[in-house]
Amino acid sequence: MLTERPEIMREGRESEQSEPATSVASCVGGPGARPRGGLRRGWVGGTANIRGVTLLEVLIVVAIIAMVAGGVAFFALPRFRESQIKTAETGARVIRQATQSWQASNNETNCPTMSQLVQDKQLDPGANTNDPWGQPYAITCTDGDVSVTSMGPDKKKGTKDDIKVPKAAAGAAEGAAGE
């Protein structure tokens, strides 16, 4: 509801009033008094119906919004990291499959590069050849087996968070290296 000041209202309604108001004080009596000339919109009990928002109310709203955002971040970040790992595994599987197809079609046992896979149309030119952390996948070919590795979230080679496809071959290779 819009509130109007008595001076503005007085200008437009002087012909309707029995006595023209000469000042704001003459329109407003004591508490509970009505302005002369009848009820005017926006006036309640002789005082203007104007209300603002206090700083405390604003701070409370900001605190509530911050708590909600913190809760979302607390629950969403682990899910986001899990989805990055799943995306890296899926990307590694696609590259491994493309490498195996390339080896079969070219009668080769050595590993192709990513650009060779794209050139020979084993990988879609629009396909992402980097892992979710922006690092290129590493293709390793040994004894007719292909493994694809991502350096993982820490972007360091040979750490615990590396993502290797296939997992069984990677675990066997680590066991053989440890002996």
Which residue, 41, 159, 166, is CA-closest to 99? Answer: 166
pTM above 0.85, yes or no: no
Q: Is 140 helix (H, G, I), strand (E, B) or coil?
A: strand
Beta bridge partners of 44: 47
- Of 19-23, 31-35, 55-59, 132-136, least confident by mean pLDDT is 19-23
- 148 Cβ contact list (under 8 Å, min separation 6): 92, 93, 95, 96, 99, 137, 138, 139, 140, 164, 165
Q: Do 84 and 154 contact (CB within 8 A), yes or no?
A: no
Give tens-digit pLDDT for 86-120.
Answer: 999 999 999 999 998 888 888 888 889 888 888 88
Rounded to whole angstroms, the Cα distance separating 109 from 12 reads 94
Beta bridge partners of 18: none
Give tens-digit pLDDT for 139-179.
Answer: 998 887 899 999 999 988 888 988 998 886 544 444 444 43
Peptide bond into 166 cis (omega under 30): yes
CA 171 → CA 69, 99, 109, distances in Å?
Answer: 40, 20, 22
